[in-house]
Structure 1
Amino acid sequence: MDVIAGQAEQQQTDFFVGRQPILDRENNIYGYELLFRGGLNPNSAEFDSASKATATVIRNAMMNMGLQQLVGEAKAFINFPEEFFFEMRDPCFHHSQAVIEILETVEPSSDVIESVQYLKNQGYMIALDDFIFSKKFVPFIKLADIVKFDVLTIAPENLKPLFEKIKKLKDVTILAERVETKEMFEACREAGAELFQGYYFAKPEVVTGKKMSIGKVHLLELLQKVADDSLHLDDLEKIIEKDIGLTIKILKLAKQYKTKNMPDFESLKEVLTLFGLKRVQSWATMLSMTMIDDVLPEVFNLARLRAIFMRNLAQKEKLPGMDSFYLAGLFSMIDVVVGQPLDNALSHIPINDNIKLGLLHGEGEYGRLLDAAKSFEMNHADQHQDYALIYFEALKEVNSIHEL
């Protein structure tokens, strides 16, 4: 294989995210600006549109790697072109992790201003990128938390008057970007800048790793919505109804669990009403996971087995929230399904912290019941023989839903 072919193959299987540190006045890391990169060259960024570039950065950062791994406890600065203020009014990243940068090309139309205000109300910090003062941008300044200036385009003697002019309109944090020398850093700091970015501190670096398949990215996006603890019944119905295949599978599964006392049902709304939010939420999670084509069926069968066993055991022991134990069993195999470390895979999904602690560290009731399930899998269940009948009943149930 020649070098060019090798590079092309690598770029099909690898993902790339550029990041450049943002520091405070004491040279502590405040955040990282995440940058589109199509390969390993840290200073190269060729893309067809700002929207596609930002979408790629978000997908790679959120789905392929995870913001925690990319930026740790620091802030992730993510560029938003104009279209994103309409297409991503509810971003897939949490407001505590990210700063949304309004690109300099975004016009302050009433619709954009309304969208920025909406994001602010959700708790997102707003930064103005490569800011050049104009009266028309005053509404943006009043919504901003951080204003970024390209200091290479500003004479040093004009820095302080410019920063002070902005601060009179709004007490924002001034970020000096493209700081390339020690002298420029000191001039910006003396002029009142509080955050700094540029080659003087560090050039962008490229973080790379293996891509997830499109199906697995979509799975995590779906699970982010379906598994949310704060979800309401009507919201779950809207999410499921968008996928006809998922809707049909849930109706089939519901019929298997239908009791004689239940009326017939033909709609998803009726299923949700009869079985309740948490039960249907658990089913939707399980069925969504099984729609991935490149994972062995045995993985899903084992996840189902753990889920059913843990739910039934929780019911027997009268533990609260038995359907949450079903979710815990399913998510105990999510690392195998999406091909990521368990802690990273779970970081994408808004499930209860107690479930995460149980799966990652064996803590609490979730950890105890998962340990019991694993002991049967490993044929080391001597201390759990009281649970044997529950485990074998779970095996039967797994086989009964195998063809869904």
Structure 2
Amino acid sequence: MPDSLLGIQPIFNRQRAIVAYELLFRSPAGGFDDDPVDAESATVQVILNAFIELGVERLGRDKRLFLNMNETLLNSELIQTLPPKRVVLEILETVRVTPELVATAQRLVEQGFVLALDDFVYTPEWDPLLALARIIKFDVLGVDRAAIAAKIAALPAGHRLHLLAEKVETAEQFRDCLELGFDLFQGYYLARPQIISGHRPPANRLQALHLLARLQDDEIGLMEVEQLISRDVTLSYRLLRFIGNAAISQGRPLHTLRQAITLVGLHTIRQWAALLILGSMEGVNPYSFTRALTYALFCQIVGERHFPEERDRLFTAGLFANLDEILLIPLREALEPLPLGQMIKGAILRYEGLLGCVLLQAKQIEDGEQIPNATLPGVGGEQLAVYFLEAFARARALQHEIECSASR
């Protein structure tokens, strides 16, 4: 039986022709949630379902696809997997407009993404983003004509913006919005969201663990990575789907797995494979997933910024450091059958060496203990705590992606 993966709602122009679609989170209860409690995780789930499970070619033909975005997602690597010419990044009204956010928005526009501002109410702090956005969304549900007109009048002159009226539910609302100069329209009066369904393929847990461990070996080369991934049809399919979105956006359609690896690089392909393999395991506590990812990303951040030669081994050590929680067996027993080097196993089991020291710092930060500065030369305790928070934020953004790519 197909899985109900997401919702899709048309967006119309003034002639009532469909010009775009918004991708909507489908809640566990079966409804479409315009304002989920965890908007970030909801968007990650939508992205995974739309661009990996279903494939962008099934969605809206050649029309633009609107996706909700907060600060974390705008800065995440996940954005780089999306096809810029097909996606409108809908910046939520809850974001804080900072110089860093504006710089990120500028970079995304230069890459070809269209920016929209959601549920917009003008204040001067939004001026830098208004200069970059092409679409402004106004929620017109329960708002009278005069109030809508006042919101439009408050917009500063000089910006070439398309106005989109969302939650248009009556003929009168539609007529008012036409007369007020709106260009785009979305709501139940015009079309209700439709469910998009698909199937998720299964995966073998033990085989996946061995594959995951082998892919993290720092001695592995491109040809072996290609061979290992090629043996797992499910993993090959998911990776080609995921990387294919970025390739098509660059005018470089993929025909082979080697092309995909060459396009994104060996380091990136190994990390994305790790995420998708972890996501193939059934019955794992979501908290354990988040914790494993946080440790892996924390170790990776420390490696990238202070010990670049150990970056990959640090990521691997962090990824497997809490494997006992994922498999619900003792850690030594969980690691025993895996082809991990003694350096990594010693770090995980006994906190040996640099890798073990970084893992110990992660545990101390998580437990709220005092961090001894001397254990990592040149890296202060406060700095490590900031790295851990950064890793946790990135892990949360990936959590639902991992869960949704798992077989069910």
TM-score by length of 1: 0.54
Matches of 2:127 and 2:246 in 1, distance apart?
37
Matches of 2:89 and 2:225 in 1, distance apart?
32
1:107 aligned to 2:107? no
Matches of 2:71 and 2:191 in 1, distance apart?
29
Deviation of 1:159 (Å): 3.2
Deviation of 1:60 (Å): 0.4
Q: Is the 8 A contact 2:7 2:25 kept in 1?
A: yes
One-letter code aligned to 2:64: K
Which of 1 and 2 has higher RCO (CA within 8 Å, sep 6+)? 2
1:338 aligned to 2:327? no
Aligned to 1:235: none
Q: Is the 8 A contact 1:16 1:40 kept in 2?
A: no
Q: Is the 8 A contact 1:64 1:212 kept in 2?
A: no
Question: Once the two structures are superposed, what CA deviation does each residue of 1:200-256 show, in whole Å capped at 9, x if it has no partner?
Answer: 11122221211245899xx9xxxxxxxxxxxxxxxxxxxxxx9533x5342xxxxxx
* Percent of matched pairs sharing the same residue: 30
Q: Is the 8 A contact 1:152 1:179 kept in 2?
A: yes
Matches of 1:44 and 1:158 in 2, distance apart?
25
Q: Is the 8 A contact 1:36 1:54 kept in 2?
A: yes
Aligned to 1:375: none
Q: Is the 8 A contact 1:163 1:193 kept in 2?
A: no
Aligned to 2:301: none
Matches of 1:155 and 1:20 in 2, distance apart?
24
Deviation of 1:47 (Å): 5.1
Matches of 2:103 and 2:60 in 1, distance apart?
29
Aligned to 2:247: 350
Correspondent of 2:111 among 102, 122, 125: 122
Correspondent of 1:244 among 206, 211, 216: 216
Secondary structure at the residue paired with 1:248? coil
One-letter code aligned to 1:193: F
One-letter code aligned to 1:107: R
1:177 aligned to 2:166? yes
Matches of 2:203 and 2:39 in 1, distance apart?
21
Aligned to 1:288: 229
Question: Once the two structures are superposed, what CA deviation does each residue of 1:7-54 show, in whole Å capped at 9, x if it has no partner?
Answer: xxx7xx835111111001111111111111134734357855111111
Aligned to 1:163: 152
Correspondent of 2:54 among 53, 65, 69: 65
Deviation of 1:170 (Å): 1.1
Q: Is the 8 A contact 1:41 1:206 kept in 2?
A: no
1:104-253 superposed matches below 5 A: 104-166=93-155, 168-212=157-201, 243-245=215-217, 247-250=218-221
Q: Is the 8 A contact 2:117 2:137 kept in 1?
A: yes
Matches of 2:35 and 2:121 in 1, distance apart?
24
Deviation of 1:144 (Å): 0.6
Q: Is the 8 A contact 1:64 1:211 kept in 2?
A: yes
Q: Is the 8 A contact 2:73 2:79 kept in 1?
A: no
Matches of 1:284 and 1:59 in 2, distance apart?
23
One-letter code aligned to 2:128: P
Matches of 2:244 and 2:61 in 1, distance apart?
12
Deviation of 1:139 (Å): 1.7
CA separation of 1:95 and 1:175: change in aligned 2, threshold 3 A: same
Deviation of 1:140 (Å): 1.7
Matches of 2:168 and 2:204 in 1, distance apart?
41
Larger radius of gyration: 1
Q: Is the 8 A contact 1:37 1:46 kept in 2?
A: no
CA separation of 1:81 and 1:192: change in aligned 2, threshold 3 A: same
Secondary structure at the residue paired with 1:147? strand
Secondary structure at the residue paired with 1:84? helix
One-letter code aligned to 1:23: F
Correspondent of 1:77 among 53, 66, 69: 66
CA separation of 1:93 and 1:354: change in aligned 2, threshold 3 A: closer
State the aligned residue count. Answer: 249
CA separation of 1:44 and 1:78: change in aligned 2, threshold 3 A: closer
Secondary structure at the residue paired with 2:59? helix
Aligned to 1:28: 17
One-letter code aligned to 1:41: G
Deviation of 1:155 (Å): 2.3
Deviation of 1:62 (Å): 0.6
Aligned to 1:265: none
Matches of 1:44 and 1:190 in 2, distance apart?
29
Give me the CA root mean square deviation: 3.6
Matches of 1:215 and 1:93 in 2, distance apart?
28
Secondary structure at the residue paired with 2:85? coil
CA separation of 1:31 and 1:214: change in aligned 2, threshold 3 A: farther
For structure 2, which runs of at least 5 residues remain unmatched after alignment? 209-213, 257-408
